[in-house]
C-alpha cells in the first residue's frame, strides 16, 4: 500500500511539474496596442548619428513583437524616408535639424515616435595632405619613430623636420620604438588621434611586443601620449600574447566612441586575428578589455576600415591557402560589414597589382582625395623602398596599374589625412618642410 501511495504522489508531482512548465512556456499574447507601444519604446537612433549625421541611418522596419515600422522625414531633401543621407548642412549657420518620425503599426493600432537628427556640415575644404609614417632607410633605432610628410596633391610628398622624428619613441613608448602609425581626425574636426605599434625590433627583435601607443592632440603639434601593455593590464586574457600589431582608430557612431582595433597573435597559436576596444574619453587607454572583432579564414594583419554608403570596408593584408595549408596567394583584400561589430564577409579577390606576381606588399591604407569622389589605396612594397597606390571610386574596383609617389623620404606603413592651409602653416612653423605651393593655396 505504501508503495502504491508513493507511486501515486510521484506521478501527481510529475503531472504538476509538466503543467507548470507548459504554462511557463506558453507565450504571452499581447494586444495590438501593447505590441506597438513596446516596439516603439525599443526604437532608438544612437546619439553618434543624431548629433552629427554623415552616414545613412539604419532604420528598423519590423519590431520584435511583429509590428511594422514606417518612417517619414521632415526634410526628405536631406534625409530620405528610408534613412539615406542625401545632402549635408551648409557650413554657414546651424546644422539642419531633421525630424524622423516612426509609425509603428499592429492591426489597426498605430503608435508614433519621433527623433531629431542634426545633419553634419559639408566636408571641410582641405587643401593638402598629411602623411604619418615611420622610416625604412636607416638603422631601426632611428627608423622606428613617428615622422610627418606633407603634400598638396597626395602624389608628390615632402618630409617635415628634415625627415627627423616629430616626437621621440623613447618618450612615448614602452619599448623605445614605434611602427605603423595611424592618424585620424576626430568628429569635432579639430582633435587628432594617433595609434602605433609599440615595438623596437632593433633592440628586441621580432619575437614579442607588448602593445600599442596612443596619442591625442588638438593642434597636430603637441601630443599627449600613453602606451598600453596588454599583457600587464589584461593578464588573464593576454598573458600568452606574442604580437600586438598595426593599431588603427575609427569613430563608431552607434556607440558614439572611438574604436581601436589591431592584430593579435598568441604564442601558442599561428592564427592572426583582429581585436578591438573602445578608447576612454581622454584617449589614454581602453574602456574595456579588448575582444575579438574579426577572425579571417587564414589570418591577416594591417587592418584598415573605412565607411562608404552604408558599408564598412575592412582592408587587410591576407593570404589564401590550398587544402594542404600551403599559401597560394598573398596581398591586399577586403571584408565588408554593415556595422563595426560585424559580421564581416571576406572577399578573396585581391586588390593590389602584385598579388599574382609574388611581390610582397603590406601596410595598406585608404583615404579619399580632397574635393573628389576618388579614393587612394596605398601600400608599402617593403622589400624595395617603394610606396605605390591604386585608385577607386566605389572601393570595390581599383585601377589595375599602380602609380608611384614621388617623395624625399622612404616611408614604411603609414596613413594620410586631409589638412587645411592653416594647419599646414602651423606644421611648417614648427618643423618646416611643407611645400610652398600648399602654403600659398587659398
Summarize pLDDT for 161-184 with one digit per residue, the tens.
999 999 999 999 999 999 999 999
Strand, helix or coil for residue 277: strand
* Chain centroid offset of residue 110 CA: 38
Do the domain assignments include residue 23? no
Statement to judge: residues 368 and 387 lie in one domain: yes
Do the domain assignments include residue 414? yes
pLDDT tens readout for residues 45-86: 999 999 999 999 999 999 999 999 999 999 999 999 999 999
Residue 157 is part of a domain; what is its CATH number?
2.115.10.20
**Within 10 A of 64 (CB to CB), how many other CB atoms are there?**
10
- Choose the final residue of a domain: 99, 118, 137: 118
Do the domain assignments include residue 12? no
Statement to judge: residues 106 and 198 lie in one domain: no
Rounded mean pLDDT, 398-423: 97
pLDDT tier for residue 356 given thresholds of 50, 70 and 90: confident
Statement to judge: residues 40 and 142 lie in one domain: no
Integer Cα distance of 329 and 320 in angstroms? 5
Q: What is the pTM of this model?
A: 0.90
Looking at 309-428, which runs of residues are DSSP E strands?
Answer: 311-321, 327-337, 345-347, 362-368, 375-381, 386-392, 403-404, 406-407, 411-419
Do the domain assignments include residue 383? yes
Lowest mean pLDDT across 25-34, 134-143, 215-224, 316-325: 25-34
pLDDT tens readout for residues 255-283: 999 999 999 999 989 999 999 999 999 99
Statement to judge: residues 92 and 141 lie in one domain: no
Statement to judge: residues 111 and 134 lie in one domain: no
Q: How many domains does the chain have?
A: 2
- Choose the final residue of a domain: 83, 118, 153: 118
Q: Is the pLDDT of residue 417 over 50?
A: yes
H helix or E strand, kind and range, residue 204: helix 201-204
Statement to judge: residues 107 and 186 lie in one domain: no
Statement to judge: residues 190 and 299 lie in one domain: yes
Statement to judge: residues 151 and 255 lie in one domain: yes
Q: Which residue bears the cell 585608404? A: 366
Statement to judge: residues 150 and 70 lie in one domain: no
Q: Cβ(69)–Cβ(39) under 8 Å?
A: yes
Strand, helix or coil for residue 355: coil
Do the domain assignments include residue 16? no
Give the percent of the chain with pLDDT over 90: 87
Statement to judge: residues 254 and 299 lie in one domain: yes
132-156 in b/e form (b: 16+ CB < 10 A) is bbbbbeeebeebbbbbbbbbbebee
Do the domain assignments include residue 71? yes
- Choose the final residue of a domain: 53, 88, 118: 118
Q: Is the pLDDT of residue 8 over 50?
A: no
pLDDT at site 384: 83
Q: Is the pLDDT of residue 372 over 90?
A: yes
Strand, helix or coil for residue 398: coil
Integer Cα distance of 342 and 330 in angstroms? 24
Q: Is the pLDDT of residue 95 over 80?
A: yes
Do the domain assignments include residue 177? yes
367-380 in b/e form (b: 16+ CB < 10 A) is bbbbeeeebbbbbb
Residue range(s) defining the domain that contains residue 100: 32-118
| Mean pLDDT estimate for the chain | 93
Q: Is the dihedral of CA 146, 151, 157, 158 positive or negative?
A: negative
pLDDT at site 26: 57
Statement to judge: residues 246 and 187 lie in one domain: yes
pLDDT tens readout for residues 290-329: 999 999 999 999 999 999 999 999 999 999 999 998 999 9
Lowest mean pLDDT across 16-25, 350-359, 394-403: 16-25
Q: Is the pLDDT of residue 401 over 80?
A: yes
- The three three-digit cell numbers of residue 432, written as one number: 618646416
Q: Is the pLDDT of residue 342 over 80?
A: yes
pLDDT tier for residue 126 given thresholds of 50, 70 and 90: very high
DSSP one-letter code for 53: B
Integer Cα distance of 441 and 127 in angstroms? 7
pLDDT at site 138: 84
Q: Which residue bears the cell 581602453? A: 286
Integer Cα distance of 354 and 363 in angstroms? 14
Do the domain assignments include residue 174? yes
Statement to judge: residues 112 and 145 lie in one domain: no
Rounded mean pLDDT, 79-98: 96
Amino acid at each position: 500500500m505504501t508503495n502504491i501511495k508513493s507511486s501515486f504522489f510521484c506521478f501527481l508531482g510529475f503531472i504538476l511539474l509538466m503543467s507548470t512548465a507548459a504554462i511557463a512556456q506558453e507565450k504571452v499574447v499581447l494586444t495590438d496596442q501593447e505590441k506597438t507601444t513596446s516596439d516603439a519604446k525599443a526604437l532608438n537612433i544612437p546619439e553618434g548619428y543624431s548629433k552629427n549625421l554623415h552616414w545613412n541611418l539604419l532604420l528598423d522596419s519590423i519590431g520584435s513583437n511583429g509590428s511594422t515600422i514606417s518612417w517619414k522625414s521632415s526634410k526628405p531633401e536631406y534625409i530620405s524616408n528610408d534613412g539615406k543621407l542625401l545632402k549635408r548642412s551648409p557650413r554657414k549657420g546651424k546644422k539642419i535639424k531633421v525630424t524622423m518620425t516612426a509609425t509603428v503599426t499592429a492591426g489597426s493600432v498605430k503608435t508614433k515616435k519621433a527623433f531629431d537628427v542634426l545633419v553634419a556640415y559639408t566636408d571641410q575644404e582641405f587643401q593638402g595632405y598629411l602623411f604619418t609614417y615611420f622610416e625604412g632607410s636607416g638603422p631601426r633605432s632611428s627608423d622606428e619613430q613617428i615622422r610627418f610628410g606633407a603634400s598638396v596633391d597626395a602624389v608628390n610628398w615632402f618630409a617635415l623636420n628634415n625627415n627627423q622624428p616629430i616626437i621621440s619613441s623613447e618618450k612615448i613608448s614602452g619599448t623605445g620604438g614605434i611602427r605603423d602609425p595611424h592618424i585620424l581626425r576626430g568628429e569635432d574636426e579639430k582633435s587628432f588621434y594617433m595609434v602605433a605599434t609599440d615595438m623596437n625590433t632593433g633592440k628586441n627583435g621580432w619575437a614579442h611586443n607588448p602593445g600599442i601607443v596612443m596619442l591625442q592632440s588638438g593642434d597636430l603639434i603637441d601630443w599627449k601620449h600613453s602606451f598600453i601593455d596588454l599583457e600587464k593590464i589584461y593578464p588573464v586574457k593576454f598573458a600568452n600574447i606574442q604580437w600586438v600589431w598595426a593599431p588603427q582608430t575609427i569613430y563608431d557612431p552607434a556607440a558614439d566612441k572611438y574604436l581601436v582595433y589591431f592584430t593579435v597573435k598568441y604564442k601558442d597559436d599561428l592564427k592572426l586575428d583582429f581585436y578591438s576596444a573602445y578608447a576612454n574619453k581622454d584617449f589614454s587607454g581602453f574602456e574595456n578589455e579588448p575582444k575579438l572583432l574579426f577572425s579571417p579564414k587564414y589570418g591577416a594583419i594591417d587592418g584598415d576600415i573605412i565607411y562608404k554608403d552604408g558599408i564598412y570596408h575592412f582592408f587587410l593584408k591576407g593570404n589564401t591557402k590550398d587544402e594542404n595549408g600551403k599559401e597560394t596567394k598573398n596581398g591586399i583584400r577586403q571584408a565588408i560589414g554593415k556595422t563595426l561589430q560585424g559580421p564581416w564577409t571576406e572577399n578573396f579577390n585581391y586588390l593590389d597589382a602584385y598579388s599574382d606576381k609574388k611581390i610582397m606588399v603590406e601596410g595598406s591604407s585608404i583615404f579619399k582625395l580632397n574635393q573628389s569622389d576618388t579614393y587612394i589605396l596605398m601600400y608599402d612594397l617593403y622589400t624595395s623602398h617603394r610606396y605605390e597606390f591604386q585608385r577607386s571610386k566605389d572601393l570595390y574596383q581599383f585601377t589595375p596599374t599602380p602609380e608611384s609617389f614621388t617623395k624625399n623620404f622612404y616611408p614604411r606603413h603609414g596613413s594620410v589625412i586631409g589638412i587645411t592651409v592653416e594647419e599646414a602653416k602651423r606644421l611648417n612653423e614648427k618643423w618646416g618642410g611643407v611645400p610652398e605651393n600648399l602654403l600659398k593655396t587659398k
